[in-house]
Amino acid sequence: MENIKNCMVCDSDQNEVYLKCSDYLVTKEDFILTQCKNCGFVFTNPRPTIEEIPPYYNSKEYYSHSADSKSIISSIYNIVRNLNIKKKLNLIKKVTKKQGLLLDYGCGAGLFIKYATSQGWVTRGIEPNSEARAVCKELGLTVEAPEFLTSINEQKFDVITLWHVLEHLHDIEVVIPKLKSILNIDGIIVVAVPNIDSWDAKKYKENWAAYDVPRHLYHFTPKTIEKLFTKFGMSIVSTHPMKFDAYYVSMLSEGNSVLAKIKAIINGLRSNIHAKSEMNYSSLIYLIK
């Protein structure tokens, strides 16, 4: 385990306990989330080191390429995920107005870049999981291990996407400036992360599935994500809801009974209704320049 002394956003060494929660998916171990007293950034602390983290991903449910799960949640998730992929690309198209070179950082089994490729984009993927990379290769996609990022020098990307990936990265202080350096002048970075200020996060507290400790190392709000990217000389251009995440996260947070699923649907709906006025959805997509 490693202790984080200084806040990654503002460098302050003053932090306090924000919440205690446990790894509900794999180990049931307890973890602490601390909040920076200066800027409000919340992070898992202490956290497994990059060498210690792989066993915490030891779950069939976890990787997006394990399509063998037959639970109702998984089936619904798969249907909605395909719809979401289209929505995500449409959102990007609205901003870029042309197809260009797209890098999906943490591309999993390549579903997003596979669709983007079919829509005329030239795509690259980066993915740490070797099994997922093998799946991508079978699909004919160009996907590399994370080490590849440091070797990119000349190539500039029009769009770089991180779909629920930023919260998993040990070295954001290295990755974000590197991604910025390989972005075209008018390019955009697209980041989707859970929002701990959402109604469902507050409703479920330590049982909120999107804390997902210790796999999620950071727990963002719209304010802290803005501060983080400002630190690296970038700014948030616009923020967009991921409405299905409220239902999905509520389902994971509730448990397995039929009654729990019904409650989850109601709470997902309530979260989305509450989120409307302040753009405080369960998960948010940030377009960053």
Determine the interface stretch with Zn ion among 39-47, 133-141, 210-218, 246-254 (rule: CB under 5 A). Answer: 39-47
Distance between CA 217 and CA 56 in Å, rounded?
A: 12
Establish how many alpha carbons lie within 13 A of residue 50's alpha carbon, considering only the half-sphere containing its beta carbon: 6
At closest approach, how far in Å is the CB of 225 from Zn ion? 13
Tokens of 156: 């500039």
Residue 41 or 77 having the CB closest to Zn ion: 41
Query: Binding of Zn ion at residue 231 (CB under 5 A)?
Result: no
Residue 8 or 251 having the CB closest to Zn ion: 8
Q: What are 180-184's contacts with CB under 8 Å, separation 24+?
A: 180/232, 180/233, 180/234, 182/103, 182/152, 182/155, 182/156, 182/157, 183/156, 183/157, 184/100, 184/156, 184/157, 184/158
At closest approach, how far in Å is the CB of 15 from Zn ion? 8
Query: Binding of Zn ion at residue 41 (CB under 5 A)?
Result: yes
Query: Binding of Zn ion at residue 172 (CB under 5 A)?
Result: no
Distance between CA 190 and CA 44 in Å, rounded?
A: 23
Number of amino acids touching Zn ion (CB under 5 A): 8
Residue 9 or 242 having the CB closest to Zn ion: 9
Q: What sign has the CA pseudo-torsion 155, 159, 163, 167?
A: positive
Query: Binding of Zn ion at residue 228 (CB under 5 A)?
Result: no
Residues whose CB is less than 8 angstroms from the CB of residue 8 and which lie 6 or more positions away in sequence, other chains included: 41, 43, 172, 173, 218, 228
Query: Binding of Zn ion at residue 10 (CB under 5 A)?
Result: yes
Determine the interface stretch with Zn ion among 6-14, 103-111, 211-219, 247-255 (rule: CB under 5 A). Answer: 6-14
Q: Are 185 and 161 in contact (CB under 8 A)?
A: no
At closest approach, how far in Å is the CB of 39 from Zn ion? 3
At closest approach, how far in Å is the CB of 228 from Zn ion? 9
Query: Binding of Zn ion at residue 7 (CB under 5 A)?
Result: yes
Query: Binding of Zn ion at residue 4 (CB under 5 A)?
Result: no
At closest approach, how far in Å is the CB of 231 from Zn ion? 10
Determine the interface stretch with Zn ion among 7-15, 102-110, 212-220, 245-253 (rule: CB under 5 A). Answer: 7-15
Distance between CA 236 and CA 224 in Å, rounded?
A: 11
Residue 14 or 58 having the CB closest to Zn ion: 14
Query: Binding of Zn ion at residue 242 (CB under 5 A)?
Result: no
Q: Letter for the amino acid at 279?
A: M
Q: What is the Rg, in whole angstroms, of the alpha carbon atoms belonging to the chain?
A: 18
Query: Binding of Zn ion at residue 9 (CB under 5 A)?
Result: yes
Query: Binding of Zn ion at residue 38 (CB under 5 A)?
Result: yes
Establish how many alpha carbons lie within 13 A of residue 287's alpha carbon, considering only the half-sphere containing its beta carbon: 18
Burial tier of 40 (Cβ tally within 10 Å: 0-12, 13-18, 19+): middle
Residue 31 or 43 having the CB closest to Zn ion: 43
Of the candidates 21, 33, 39, 196, which one interacts with Zn ion according to CB under 5 A?
A: 39
Determine the interface stretch with Zn ion among 2-10, 71-79, 209-217, 252-260 (rule: CB under 5 A). Answer: 2-10
Query: Binding of Zn ion at residue 36 (CB under 5 A)?
Result: yes
Binding site for Zn ion (CB under 5 A): 7, 9-10, 12, 36, 38-39, 41
